[in-house]
Each structure stands twice: as structure tokens, then as C-alpha cells.
Structure 1
């Protein structure tokens, strides 16, 4: 089974053109011999290197070029698919230190690629400025799934015996749309070399015919999706740079930005709204550092109570800030609310609500300004009394004791609270003739004589 020739590639192009009318996901990683990421040294084996494959694994390995090796430890079960001109020849052990002399090149575990890991899928439906929440980065129920027709791959179908539902599967130049045909392929030798694990694949051949979109259907497997996605991070979400971060439906970790929820009617068109968001908003200079995800999701129970709507779905618009500047997501969210208020009927949107994350965790410019003013006032409180005492001891500043009757305090204009606070004072207690007080007020803005 070699690489596809020109007729096969032309057929693939025609098939992909057909697929562009529906959502589909493309499997990215491969188990090719010539892919550097598949080797322990992050490069293909040098000439004369010793090569080792995991002895207890199964794998289908495509070889695209000619290689000379000194030794090769083969896997327990597998196959090598040779492209035209590819092959192996024996050579003496390499003495090149840059080539890792004495160390064998280890082929990494081919079972490390899991269906539920969003990192291994790519969607051709997305354009610049748009992204998908984590649960929708793996194939949804109405998606067509495409595996490389001229490359080798291996996919783990999950840790549990759940059934993964998709619209169709393209593998090894074949399209599977019936459970019977797919099951026969998965139990064949070619299928067992490429798919493993207790999970099962099943067809849901109906395409999404609703113009307002369809719910992805991955809510049940989202824990697996998040576990696979966060495994390189030790299972923990990275810290966010804002307070009161948001977690959209289908997302594994919190985000900084805004979420706009749209209550839609039968006239709403999801693709048309995506195009409107891209062309009329995300292309504007003030929104260049934003990304948006637009999809239909299940409405939360509290949202149903708040809106009084009987519909169990809504359109979720997630706005995320990707650059150093903040505030763009909030600005765009409010612009979208204004757009719904003006054009909601034409868009098929009856209501819209927004949730926003808080200020940057570091405080941001405004917090920095407030902190600076507070620090300056604190320093003045410390410095002024000490400075006045020093001036007094050196004789440069003098004050004298004077007796004053206890009465209403003398007001003075305060720019922080306004003049009104100096005019209306609470009534003073009756003065005692024997009572005296000492009043000292040191103002560095006045001269000695005025003091």
C-alpha cells in the first residue's frame, strides 16, 4: 500500500471539495518514519544509527526515503509501507558525535495519540480571528472525519468503552458512512494497526440541516477531552491574567474576555452571523487582538429561568483577548449588544446577554495609578510631620501656643470631598470655660512668617 499517485490525489481533492459543505476535522499526527517528532532525539535516525521500535506495540510506519542503519529492533506487530524509492540498507555504526554515536534512535510510543486530545485535530472551517472551544476541537456528532490517505497513523479511541459518533470517516482512501462497513474495517488487520482501545466508532449519517447550527454533542466526553489536553501541564489549568475569569460551555479552563449569549429564533443563520462578526467587527483596528468562538450550546438551567424561554439552546459568542491590551473584549461585547438592539429582528435574535471577566490580575493601568496616588499620600503623611519637626528644631520653623474656645471646627475646602463638607458641620457641644486646645497646622506651602 504505497503513497497515492496523481489520480488518487485528484480524487482526494474532489472528495475534500465535497466536504467543504459540511464541518469536518482532519487528523494531524502521523507515525511516519521520516517525521522528526516521532523520534527520541527529535530527528530522524542518522546514517549508520541503531534504530529501536517499542517491542510491545503495534504500528503502521510509512517510509518515504532511503535509510541506512546499523541495527533495527522491530515492533511486536506492525508493517512498513514503502513509498517509491524508499527502503533500508545496512551500514557500519556511525562514529559521528553529532549523530549521537552509541545511542540508539528510539521510535516514540505510537499509542500516545488519543482521539479525545484537541491538539491532534485541525478544522478547515476556521479562519483567522475565529477559534473553537475545546470540546468542539475534536470531532462532533455531525462532523466528517478525515485521516491522511497517504500517511501512516494510529489513534486511541479512548480509555472507556464509549461510542464515538461522527457523520463519516475517511481512511485509506475509503469513505465509511455505515456502521457495518466501518466495523468490518476496524476489525481488519489494517484497521487494528491504526485504531486501538476499548472505544467504538459509530455513524450518525444525518448532516446538520438546521441553519442555526447544531449542538456538538461532546458534553459527555468533555472530561476525557480536558484530561488529554491538560496532561502535558500536569492536569492543571494555566493561571489567568484577570480577576473573575470566565469558563464558556465546552472550554476546559478559564478565559479572560467576555461571553455574549444570544436567544435565537428560526430565522437565525449561524454561518451568516459568523461572517457578519468577522467582516463588520473583527476586521476593525480596535479588535485586531481578539478571537471569537461562535457555536450553539445547551442553555444552562439558570439561564432558562432568567429569560423565561422554553428553548434549551442558545448561541454562545466567546470573545478572548490575545494581546497585551485589555478592554477590547468588553468593548466588542457591548457593540454586539447594540447590534442586536438595532438589527436583532433581521438577524433572528430576540435577546442578548453578556458576561465579562474582571480587571487584569496585575491591577492594570488604573490600579497602578490608584496605587501610586495612595503611596504618594502615605509618603506625605510620613514626611511632612518629620520635616516640620526638623525645621522647628533648627529654628527655621516656629509656632506658638494659643488658647481657642472649643467650637465648630474651622472648615477648609477639600478637593477630594468638595466644598459642601466644609459648610455643614454637626452642632458643637457646649464649651467649658476651662477647656483649652492646642491647634497646630503646618503647611509647607506657606512661608515662616505665615506659619
Structure 2
């Protein structure tokens, strides 16, 4: 069985055991244009230069004619069938012109902690993962492509990177002793580098309610890598009172549903329920469902289920809030059967720049006029109210016993997941996860919803 066949078999085994896996995306292949300074492979007769002080393994799939080559300090070429190098005069290709040498980009630029460089296995349409969970979690299987060369930086060494298993170069590593021997070998040193340590041996997640990812400690480095193209800063949220879910680097627009669950809760069954029965009815939304540490847990359970509903459109339609309230109603009606004990919701505010804010930037004269009109309308309303009260025998209100309690409202917020961006070059301090604004919140406990008098 070839390397590709073994990789496919391994992925099938992962699927059969319900184990999650993450696939490494970038490579150091010679023919990949993004690995070169001119964003193209070297022309015929070009001079080729590799960084002299780096180590790299490069897969070569085709034949290339070059005038000369500067090799790195340590490295290897892995030649596919029919691949190789031949000598040619400089500038033989007229389309190249008198171009500068083709420079192979820094192979150390790829970091394990960069969420953009991983792909989750079996991701369904409409689902996304919060940033910390886009990087391999401790219960994940990690797969490196069998048909490509690669090089991975293991990070600053704040703690060992721990996963369930690693599949690389046709071998599966599930014991630390075997993996350590590989990492110390010439092949391992060409592919993994940095002060960080890689460890395997964690068990697959056996809890039907899900397992916490375990990347909280390295989230500052995850966010630094993700935001690097933006200078280390999050883009402004497209809504007021934006939210920041647990494990996310930047604010989102939408809603967060937090579920307290019992022993009968099954996260996969619940995720499927939302994907099939709820999400298709709401356009412009993406959803993330995972188990996260519970904030201010106290004597209660130390984890909860976080359902993130993210508005993906430029001017959020409010679908996230409507879907969140639909999920609350679903918990009220079916919570016991789903194993959900209670649910709480936080929503972001209106999109920035909508009609409700149009008058904020007007002139002082317009503001004064608007204030005068508003004052006049208020006076008329007060007079009308006084006349109505005078003519009525009584004015009272009450909550009907069979009516659902009105949701408690208080000011918070939600923005756009930064899926393809990356942080500052230097490892930053932990990103601020608190949101100073107050959220709209709703809470429903299905165990007591029917007992209200």
C-alpha cells in the first residue's frame, strides 16, 4: 500500500472511531508557487537560492533546468519519479527576462499554532470552529500530507503540544518514545523545529457530551499567528456591543447560547439536530458547537456547551438573535429529552452604520431641530395620556399565568470570525477576552418553566 493509501486508511479509521483529526495544509514543495519570492517557480535557466541558514526538506515532482543553485545549511530534495535538475544557460527562457534569482521563502514561517494552516476533518457546511479549536486539540489525531514535504514550528515552548496521535511519513505515532526518536532523527529535524515539544498518547474523547479542547494556555500564540497580517490587531466589529466567545481571538456579531447539560447530553446528536432542523432556516449564519470551561463555575459544573451563532453578512440581519431564541424555546420544550438542564443567551447589538445612528453625525442645527420636535411630541403624548387616564375608571396590568416570561434585557455584543488572517511577530500577552459592554441576555430553565404560577 502506498503512502497515500495508508493516509486514506488512517483517516477512515479516525472516522470509524469518531476521533476528530486535523490535517496540516501548507508544504515546502518545489513546484508550489507561493514558496517562491516571485510567486512562481524558477524559470528555465534561472538561479535558485535557498536560505543559507535554514533547514528544509523539499519535494520535487518535475524536471527543472537552472543555471546555478545556492543550497541551505542542511536539507534534502525528495525526487519524485522523473524529477530532477539539469544545467541551462542563464536567461534561456525569454519570458523570464533578466530577473533576479528565484528565492525560496523562509521555510520556518509555518507555525503549529497558526489556525489558518489546519483543516478539520469532516467539517459540515455551516459549521466553523472558534480560533483555539482550529489548532489541534489534545484529543485530536494529527495528519501530515503524505504527498508533500513540510516544515512545522512547534512554538515558544510554553508547554508541550499534546495530541492523541501523529501521522507523518507513513508512520503513526501514539507513544512518546517512538515520536521522540523520530523527532531526533535527521528526517524529524528537517520537518519539526523550535523550542516547543510535541507529545502524543492522549485518549480519544470518550465523553458523549464532548471534551474541552485544552488550548487555553497557548491561545495568546494562536491569536498572535492568526492576526499577524493585520499587525496584531483585531478588525473593528461590524455591530454594536460585539461578543467574544470562549476560544475566539476577536469579537463576533451574532449570539452565544450557553447550555448547562446533564449526563444524558450527546454533543454530536445535538449538533446534528441544529444543523438539520434549525440552521437551514436562517441565511447568513455560521455555527460553532463545543464544550468550554464554565465562567465563574463555583460549586456548579465546571464546563458548559457553547453554541456560537455568527452573522457572516456585512450588515447582520438579526438572524442569530432569532435563531438563539428559537433554541431557547426548543430547550424549554425538549430540554429534558436532550439532556439540557438550562440555557442562557447573549446577543450583540445592531449593525454599525444602520439607520438608527443616522442622526448622530448631523449638524448642531439639525440636532437642535430634532430635539425641539421630540420635545413637542413628548408634550403631546403626555397631554393625551392625561386625558385618557382622566376618562378611564382604572388602569392596571398583570402577567397572564400561562404566558411565557418576558426575556430579561440588558446592553452586550457579537462580530465577524477572522477566518483567514494572522498577530504581532513577537509573542504577545494574553489577548483581552473580557468584553466591557453589557449583553442582552435571556435565561430559561426548562425544569421550572412549567411550574410558574
Compute the TM-score of the two structures, normalised by the length of structure 2.
0.80
The number of residue pairs the alignment matches comes to 384
Q: Check the 8 A contact 1:49/1:101 in 2, yes or no.
A: no
Q: Secondary structure at the match of 2:321?
A: helix
Partner of 1:157: 154
| Equivalent in 247, 251, 276 of residue 250 of structure 1 | 247
C-alpha separation in 2, matches of 1:224 and 1:140: 14
| Equivalent in 119, 142, 147 of residue 144 of structure 2 | 147
Q: Deviations over 1:60-95 (max 9, x none)?
A: 000011111112111111000000011111111126
Partner of 1:16: 11
Q: Secondary structure at the match of 1:283?
A: helix
Q: Check the 8 A contact 1:161/1:200 in 2, yes or no.
A: no
Deviation at 1:274, TM superposition (A): 0.6
C-alpha separation in 1, matches of 2:162 and 2:377: 76
Q: Check the 8 A contact 1:141/1:217 in 2, yes or no.
A: yes
CA RMSD, 1 decimal:
2.6
Q: Check the 8 A contact 1:412/1:422 in 2, yes or no.
A: no
Partner of 2:441: none
Deviation at 1:11, TM superposition (A): 2.6
Partner of 2:343: 352
C-alpha separation in 2, matches of 1:336 and 1:423: 41
Partner of 1:195: 192
Partner of 1:337: 328
Partner of 1:223: 220
| Equivalent in 92, 98, 101 of residue 98 of structure 2 | 101
Q: Check the 8 A contact 1:153/1:194 in 2, yes or no.
A: yes
Partner of 2:85: 88
| Equivalent in 262, 271, 289 of residue 268 of structure 2 | 271
Q: Deviations over 1:143-175 (max 9, x none)?
A: 000001121000000022521110000000100
Q: Of the two, which has the highest radius of gyration?
A: 1
Q: 1:117 to 1:136 in 2, by over 3 A?
A: same
Q: 1:343 to 1:50 in 2, by over 3 A?
A: same
Q: 1:299 to 1:423 in 2, by over 3 A?
A: closer
**Which has the higher mean CA deviation after the structures are superposed, 100-109 or 416-425?**
416-425
C-alpha separation in 1, matches of 2:119 and 2:388: 70
Q: Check the 8 A contact 1:164/1:202 in 2, yes or no.
A: yes
Q: Check the 8 A contact 2:292/2:305 in 1, yes or no.
A: yes
C-alpha separation in 2, matches of 1:155 and 1:240: 32
Q: Deviations over 1:25-55 (max 9, x none)?
A: 0000000000011001111111111111000
Partner of 1:391: none
**Which has the higher mean CA deviation after the structures are superposed, 65-74 or 175-184?**
65-74
Q: Deviations over 1:182-239 (max 9, x none)?
A: 0000000000000001111111331110000000001111111111111111111111
Deviation at 1:97, TM superposition (A): 6.6
C-alpha separation in 1, matches of 2:63 and 2:377: 91
Compute the TM-score of the two structures, normalised by the length of structure 1.
0.80
| Equivalent in 300, 318, 321 of residue 308 of structure 2 | 318
Q: Deviations over 1:389-419 (max 9, x none)?
A: xxxxxxxxxxxxxxxxxxxxxx999655462
C-alpha separation in 2, matches of 1:423 and 1:133: 54
C-alpha separation in 2, matches of 1:375 and 1:270: 57
| Equivalent in 69, 76, 79 of residue 76 of structure 2 | 79
C-alpha separation in 2, matches of 1:412 and 1:200: 69
Higher relative contact order (CA 8 A, sep 6+): 2
Q: Deviations over 1:288-326 (max 9, x none)?
A: 21001100000011xx35xxx621000000110001342
Deviation at 1:371, TM superposition (A): 8.8
Q: Secondary structure at the match of 2:116?
A: helix
C-alpha separation in 2, matches of 1:85 and 1:340: 61
Partner of 1:397: none
C-alpha separation in 2, matches of 1:233 and 1:380: 40
Q: Secondary structure at the match of 2:227?
A: helix
The gaps in structure 2 that reach 5 residues or longer are: 391-453
1:33 aligns with 2:57: no
Partner of 1:294: 289
Q: Check the 8 A contact 1:413/1:422 in 2, yes or no.
A: no
C-alpha separation in 2, matches of 1:223 and 1:412: 52
C-alpha separation in 1, matches of 2:27 and 2:253: 34
Partner of 1:390: none
C-alpha separation in 1, matches of 2:99 and 2:321: 58
1:181 aligns with 2:172: no
Q: Check the 8 A contact 1:54/1:108 in 2, yes or no.
A: yes
C-alpha separation in 1, matches of 2:247 and 2:20: 17
